[in-house]
Structure 1
Amino acid sequence: MGKTGPSKGAYKTEEAQPYLERLRVLRARLVGDATHLADGALNRTGREAAGDLSKMPIHMADIGSDNYEQEFSLDLLAAEQATLAEVDSALARIESGEYGACVECGHRIKKSRLNAIPYTHYCIDCATKRDEESRG
């Protein structure tokens, strides 16, 4: 919405504290997962990961499997990085006093939703509306 200053729907600092801790733990896990996925996808083939370091030719199907696994890992990495960006955004909203307020309507996001998705930007009504608009 582009508001300046705390939103009326935002949680007070002490109310946001449990989410701050959860977001920090989630962020640390995502960074570790992303690093592991990047190392696996970009640095080693399936044969190398299995310990086969020989230079003997391999079957074309093995190359296809390696390529598929690498592409799958890169897709997972992209998803992890997108979630990491959402977590960083939520941490910034806590810092600015905007956490817990829907960025669309400004109303308070219910704690049950934040417990499920602590990095969400939207209340359930606005999220549902956005989802319907993107499908139709």
Structure 2
Amino acid sequence: GYVYIAGRRVRMISGGSRPPAARPTRTSRAAASKKTKAEEAPTAKKVKTKLGRKELNHYRNLLLIKRAEVAGDLSAMEAEALRANADGMSHMPIHMADLGTDTYDQDFMLGLAETERERIREIDDALRRIQDRTYGVCELTGKPIPKMRLEAKPWARYTVQARMQLESGRGLT
């Protein structure tokens, strides 16, 4: 007979009395990985916002303006990082030091562009929270996020204290 050890089929040498181990199915592995991802994420409490319609519209407008700014910056950064000379010739430098500098500059600009893409995702999430009427509520504690914080960073998901708690839990300072 055969047994499954660590997901591999292995031939049994002795005719032991124990039945073969059940092989985990793909669905059970997928369910297990979903559990671990859900356990890692902070619990999102679905507390409805106490902000009025007028305030929500104000924050929606702030978010839309900021999103347009970030999207414009993002396209400019990507165009700069991936630019080509207008004459169609390669702008590849001849000297190795110039090549290293150009590569560093391109990587740096693409890194900044990725940060801006992440900010756009955060803004889109905040717009969804406005639509769901959960905007302005800390996703960790369920407490209202102070309006001063929302004015400074309208896409904020957590209060300052909750953000500090999350960062200290990950070993960040």
> What is the 5 A alignment of 1:71-86?
71-86=107-122
Which of the two has greater helix per residue? 1
The structural deviation recorded for 1:33 is: 1.0
Q: What amino acid is aligned across from residue 32 of structure 1 in structure 2?
A: G
User: Equivalent residue for 1:40?
Assistant: 80
Q: 1:24 to 1:52 in 2, by over 3 A?
A: same
Normalising by structure 2, we get a TM-score of 0.67
Contact 1:9–1:107 (CA under 8 A) maintained in structure 2: no
2:97 to 61, 68, 72: 61
RMSD of aligned Cα (Å):
2.4
Give the match for residue 8 of structure 2. none
Given the alignment, which residue of 121, 130, 133 partners 2:166? 130
Partner Cα distance (2:92, 2:126) in 1: 50
Q: Which has the higher contact order (CA 8 A, sep 6+)?
A: 1
Q: Is the 8 A contact 1:100 1:109 kept in 2?
A: yes
| Percent of aligned pairs sharing the same letter | 35
Question: CA offsets per residue over residues 46-96 of structure 1, 9 Å max, x none?
Answer: xx38x8957896211111111011000010011000111000000111111
* Structure 2 residues without counterparts, runs of 5 or longer: 1-42
Moved over 4 A (4+): 51-57
SS in 2 for 1:118: coil
2:92 and 2:107 map into 1 onto residues whose CA distance is 24
Q: Indicate the residue corresponding to 1:120 in structure 2.
A: 156
Larger % of strand: which? Answer: 2
The runs of 5 or more residues in structure 1 that have no matched partner are none
